[in-house]
Chains A and B, each alone.
Chain A
Amino acid sequence: MATIHLEVVTPSGPVVNEDVDIVSAPGYGGDFGVLANHSLFLSTIKIGGLVYKQGGKENHLMVSGGFCEVSNNKITFLVEAAESGHEIDVDRALRSKERAEKRLAEAKSQQEKVNLVRAEAALQRALARIKIAERSPR
């Protein structure tokens, strides 16, 4: 099967750098999949789960804000953070989910826009983490 080269780069170094069969990622307009020899493509990336398959093996990554570029049979993700599924601390994610929900309620009642946006982002991150951790094998 033809493969595409996947690169995930974060500020603290590259996370993934290998040839894979298929990549699925949370794009601006919803999840999208990329196979080998995809056309030129550039999209922003939301907080969510990135999945790539390699010889039948599925790998999950949690990514947060950034963008991705497809060119020359190579897909490059530039994201501010990426964690692989089995690295995620579920307890911590659950705690931060509760914290974010509480903050969200507070911000809503006090009409604070900045805190509202922040709390929403934190909640999204926590939810994505929990979801990805559940899906990836321990």
Chain B
Amino acid sequence: MPSLKVVKDQIVGVKKTAQITKAMNMVSAAKLRGAQQKMEDFRPYAGKFNEALGSISGNMRANEFALMQAREVNNAEIIVVTSDRGLCGSFNSHIIKMAEKLMMKYEAEGKKVSLVCVGKKGNQYFNKTGKVRKSYRDIMGNFQMFNAREIAQDVAAAFIAGDTDEVQLIFGSFISVGRQVPKTLSFLPVQPIKAEEGAEAPSGGQQGAYTYEPSPEEIMDVLLPLYMNVMVYNAMLEVGASEHAARMTAMDNATNACKDIVDSLTMIYNKARQAAITGDLMDIVGGAEALKG
């Protein structure tokens, strides 16, 4: 039997841990609301953007633009978007695993792979491979559009310079508070964009052809980089929300586990206390018997 004091200390310790995990759960819940609001705010922009880009690019050939040109792939790049902080269950490791699988697939095909890590966790894991071309750390806490633009521009510059021939974007997509799954999107060359189904048909309104200023081709030159910003920003938003949702779940589980441990430790404590009392009683009774004799 462990001594009473040791068990008591353990119970106090576990209870304190439960307090911390509970607090972290509540903090994450508040942060998740903020992240979801940010996603909500972004939706009209992204929706309208895709709509407009789809309608312009619909009647254009893809190969006219450097950013849309598909070529033979010798050097592939993977953008891995993870969170900066841990303690959110298996969220980051799922993303990293997916990136690693893709990396192995590329390498099996004899292609060179480089990595761009957004968020500290991805960099921590991949740093030792020596394939990280660039990494952005400590920006997931409070990022803006210009952070996304910086990343997108850098990746696009490498693509245009011919250092990379294909770029994939891997991030944790936010499905619901209880569900986040890693997702791979083809980033470069930019895939032809289709106008979303159900988008308002132009037939009901004004007829005729658009006046473009400058020409549609030149507009595309402006819009394609913006479209890449949208994709990166969206990935960062989803990872932001997913991270907090995953942490909420992980911390909830931890709090429950703490409660279970406290229960079983209390049981051990009570048993030990009872054993001590019984032992003391035996001694007293034994002593009394001996005196009688």
Contact between A11 and B210, CB atoms less than 8 A apart:
no
In the complex, what residues of B have CB within 8 A of residue A27's CB? 213
A80 contacts chain B at the CB level, 8 A cutoff? yes
In the complex, what residues of A have CB within 8 A of residue B211's CB? 39-42
Contact between B210 and A42, CB atoms less than 8 A apart:
yes
A-B contact count (CB 8 A): 84
Known: A10-B45, A71-B206. A80 touches B229 (CB 8 A): yes
A52, chain B: closest CB distance, angstroms:
18
Chain A interface residue number, banded: 20 to 34
Complex Cα gap A114–B233 (Å): 22
Which residues of A, 1-57, contact B by the 8 Å Cβ criterion? Answer: 9-14, 27-29, 32, 39-44
Known: A42-B213, A71-B205, A72-B205. A11 touches B223 (CB 8 A): no
What residue in chain A is nearest B49 (Cβ atoms)? A78
B120 contacts chain A at the CB level, 8 A cutoff? no
Contact between A9 and B223, CB atoms less than 8 A apart:
no
Contact between B233 and A67, CB atoms less than 8 A apart:
no
What residue in chain B is nearest A77 (Cβ atoms)? B48
Complex Cα gap A72–B207 (Å): 9
Q: Flag the segment in B36-44, B88-96, B248-256 that touches A.
A: B36-44
Known: A29-B213, A42-B213. A11 touches B206 (CB 8 A): no
B56 contacts chain A at the CB level, 8 A cutoff? yes
Contact with A along B140-167 (1 / 0, CB 8 A): 0000111001000000010000000000
Which residues of A, 42-89, contact B by the 8 Å Cβ criterion? Answer: 42-44, 65-67, 69, 71-73, 76, 78, 80-81
DSSP class of A's interface residues: helix, strand, loop or mixed? strand
Question: Within the complex, which residue of A10, A12, A78 is in contact with B52, where a contact is CB–CB below 8 Å?
Answer: A78
Contact between B52 and A13, CB atoms less than 8 A apart:
no
A73, chain B: closest CB distance, angstroms:
8
In the complex, what residues of A have CB within 8 A of residue B70's CB? none
Contact between A28 and B214, CB atoms less than 8 A apart:
yes
Known: A27-B213, A67-B219, A76-B48. A12 touches B208 (CB 8 A): no
B226 contacts chain A at the CB level, 8 A cutoff? yes
In the complex, what residues of B have CB within 8 A of residue A114's CB? 157
Contact between A29 and B214, CB atoms less than 8 A apart:
yes
Contact between A69 and B52, CB atoms less than 8 A apart:
yes
Contact between B145 and A80, CB atoms less than 8 A apart:
yes
What residue in chain A is nearest B234 (Cβ atoms)? A11
Complex Cα gap A66–B212 (Å): 14
Complex Cα gap A41–B44 (Å): 20
Contact between B42 and A11, CB atoms less than 8 A apart:
yes
Known: A11-B145, A65-B226, A69-B52. A42 touches B212 (CB 8 A): yes
Complex Cα gap A27–B212 (Å): 11
Contact between A44 and B45, CB atoms less than 8 A apart:
no
B199 contacts chain A at the CB level, 8 A cutoff? no
In the complex, what residues of A have CB within 8 A of residue B48's CB? 9, 76, 78
Contact with A along B17-53 (1 / 0, CB 8 A): 0000000000000000000001001101100110010
Question: Within the complex, which residue of B44, B144, B146, B212 is in contact with A9, where a contact is CB–CB below 8 Å?
Answer: B44
Known: A13-B41, A40-B211. A71 touches B202 (CB 8 A): yes
Binding site for B on A (CB under 8 A): 9-14, 27-29, 32, 39-44, 65-67, 69, 71-73, 76, 78, 80-81, 114
10 contacts between A and B (CB under 8 A): A9-B48, A12-B144, A39-B206, A39-B211, A42-B56, A42-B212, A44-B213, A67-B226, A80-B146, A80-B226
